[in-house]
Amino acid sequence: MNAPYHILIADDENPARVLLTEYVNKLPQLKLVGCCANAMEAMTLINSQRVDILLTDIQMPDMSGVELVKVLPSDMAVIFTTAYSDYAVQGYDLGVVDYLLKPISFPRFSQAVNKAMQLLALKAKADLADADTAPAEEPRDHLLVKADRRLYKINFDEILYVESQREYVTFHTATRKIMALYSLKKLEEELPAADFIRIHKTYIISKKHIDFLDGNTVSVAGNMLPVGNNYKDEVMRRFVER
């Protein structure tokens, strides 16, 4: 991964956003891709474009910085910015790169960002080395999903259905539910088209787990889900051909 590194700011206080923006603009290795007033705005932007480094406040309305970090991809470098020192231990437990206590000086900011860039560069180098030595890929039978700062393996055949909830999706299986920062559009591209069907703007279902169709609903492993009018003909066609 080469510079410039794409950096995102999330802070509900305008003076803090202004200061951090000034600091980012002083470093040519960084490219500011967004400045958000809350975590929900940040998640929307993260879903739509590349973000390498996240500078996030902890105490924000509706969703805290800690809650945001728990659903982020684990390969993103996170730096907490806060006026409270009480969260330092929690921040390091989440694997954040650094913890900046407000008011933040430029030298301290620069130190944290340089640390993040070094870690990203090392990871990119390691990924490249792994790619050079990796054997030819076999057909995939699973997804690797990042959630709660962990990497989960979800086999295609265990997925009952996937439910979209704004910037999140929830993978429903017979034994667990995993919520992650994902989009259904991206999942449509990654799931095998022969085995999964988009039935609604908020649902993708496993074809093999369909029990029956009933008007504008479909039963999937005992779960009644709505079928959108725009998807009904395709769902019927796919159900009949199975």
Q: Which of the listed residues 133, 162, 185 is the one where a domain comes to its end?
A: 133
Task: Give yes or no: residues 102 and 156 share one domain.
Answer: no
The CA distances from residue 183 to 44, 67, 110, 156, in Å, are 10, 18, 33, 17
Give the residue carrying structure tokens 């799931």.
Answer: 191
* Mean per-residue pLDDT over the chain, rounded: 87
Cα angle at 167 between 157 and 20, to 5 degrees?
Answer: 135
Task: Give yes or no: residues 109 and 13 share one domain.
Answer: yes
Percent of the chain residues topping a pLDDT of 90: 52
pLDDT in tens, 41-78: 998 888 888 999 999 999 898 888 888 888 877 678 99
Task: Give yes or no: residues 124 and 46 share one domain.
Answer: yes
| Dihedral angle sign, alpha carbons of residues 171, 75, 68, 10 | negative
Task: Give yes or no: residues 33 and 75 share one domain.
Answer: yes
Residue type, 195: D
Q: How many domains in the chain?
A: 2
pLDDT at residue 92 greater than cutoff 60: no
Task: Give yes or no: residues 52 and 69 share one domain.
Answer: yes
Given a contact cutoff of 8 angstroms between Cβ atoms, the answer to whether 148 and 73 are in contact is: no
| Dihedral angle sign, alpha carbons of residues 41, 46, 50, 54 | positive
| Domain that includes residue 66, residue range | 5-133
